[in-house]
Amino acid sequence: MRKNSREKILDTARALFPKHGFNGISIRAIASKARLTTGAVYFHFSNKKEIYKAICLEAIDMMVSMFRKRMAERTTPNQKLISIFDSYLEFFYQHRDYYNILMEVKADYDQGGEDMRLVVNRFKEVIFSGEEPIRMGIEQGIFRDIDPRKLSIFLAALTEGMLQYKKIGILDYLEIDDADFRRFMADVVGRGIEKKAGAD
């Protein structure tokens, strides 16, 4: 099946943005690489930010879908919570361009205007994905009474920080692999939020 012009534009932009950054490419460059006219690009998108926004929203939808799928495959709150970490890793390895574009958006958020505010607002779904298993764990008496939203933010920040270290090779240099870090995170976080016996 032949790709339509809109898909060609998005495919091309997905390849160019991580290499050159948002400010490093133009509509003309996207059109040229996609073998389209600038008019064809403007037919689908009124400016470069719209292209960027469309790619970011695709990426967020993919992440959320991965998180939901992984969590649905697990049964206990602990398993569901660590599955979010697994989903971040899966997304990082399988969709590196999307990951890099999303990280750039957050870094350039202040310059983004209303379009980027929409992207960051949608990204809340990723950040708060841990709330449901945390609440479940509290209700089942597995986790202590802890703020699910703040813990979800903390875990998302911890995971993204780890991925940034992976991206620049620090974890490889320190000889810490994904499985080691996953076990450590599960142990430290699990012990930190578990409800102690008789602590009512």
**Residue entry with tokens 């399988």:** 94
The model's pLDDT over 145-174, given as tens digits with 9 standing for 90+, comes to 999 999 999 999 999 899 989 888 999 999
Which candidate, 90, 77, 50, places its Cα nearest to that of 152? 77
Which amino acid, residue 79?
Answer: Q
Report residue 104's pLDDT band, with 50, 70 and 90 as the boundaries: confident
Q: What is the number of structural domains in the chain?
A: 2
Could you tell me if 33 and 58 lie in one domain?
no
Could you tell me if 10 and 76 lie in one domain?
no
Range of the domain at 74: 53-193
> For residue 36, is it within any domain?
yes
Which candidate, 21, 25, 70, places its Cα nearest to that of 47? 25
d(C-alpha 178, C-alpha 147), whole Å: 27
> For residue 180, is it within any domain?
yes
Give the CB-side neighbour count of residue 145, counting CA atoms within 13 A.
2
136 alpha carbon, distance to own chain's centre: 23
> For residue 127, is it within any domain?
yes
Could you tell me if 160 and 111 lie in one domain?
yes
Structure tokens at 106: 């957050």
> For residue 198, is it within any domain?
no
21 contacts 46 by C-beta, under 8 angstroms: no
> For residue 95, is it within any domain?
yes
The model's pLDDT over 2-24, given as tens digits with 9 standing for 90+, comes to 468 999 999 999 999 888 888 88
10 contacts 55 by C-beta, under 8 angstroms: yes
Could you tell me if 61 and 95 lie in one domain?
yes
Could you tell me if 9 and 89 lie in one domain?
no
Could you tell me if 173 and 85 lie in one domain?
yes
